Amino acid sequence: MKLIFCTSCQHVFKLRRQQTQYCPCGMAWGRYHDERLASYGGESAVPLIIVNSQFIKAFRAWQEDDTRPFAELDFTGGFCPLKSETFMHEDDAKLIEKLKQLGGPRAKCPFCGDIIQSMHRLDFRACECGKSFITGGKECSRSSENLEFLKED
């Protein structure tokens, strides 16, 4: 999950899809653009990431037995690399959104959940797990089976 830390009021907050979320002092904000892409804005915003799978694993372990050693209840998270392709400054995210409109339909891999899009006729894109692909740009000339095409909002 993607979070924002405000360096001014030191608040940490989670992002949502439809609506921009702000910290209490208003110097940091952010939102999701789709299931994967999120952006942050404001001069005090610092992007944070928690690895979901590890977070859930640690949470389940804690539910079972909260006296386990801390190492078993720990999860990975930290500051997001500033060059991340899925969590970026809002100016960059706007650019990506514009670029997305130039490409073909976007589709989700039913196995790994990765979202793929072919940007032009010869652009071949595979998902993270390698089971799905899409190519052909706007005409989407070829794709693997079972792809879930996304309705753009």
Give the span between the Cα atoms of 13 and 11, in whole angstroms.
Answer: 7
Residue 12 binding Zn ion, by CB under 5 A = no
Residue 127 binding Zn ion, by CB under 5 A = yes
Residue 23 binding Zn ion, by CB under 5 A = yes
Residue 122 binding Zn ion, by CB under 5 A = no
From edge to edge, which strands make up the β-sheet containing 142-143?
125-126, 133-135, 142-143
User: Environment class of residue 77 by beta-carbon count within 10 Å: exposed (0-12), middle (13-18) or buried (19+)?
Assistant: middle
In this chain, which stretch among 31-39, 54-62, 84-92, 123-131 interacts with Zn ion, using CB under 5 A? 123-131
Count of residues for the chain? 153
Binds Zn ion (CB under 5 A): choice among 6, 48, 93, 134: 6
Residue ranges in contact with Zn ion by CB under 5 A: 6, 8-9, 23, 25, 27, 109, 111-112, 127, 129, 131-132
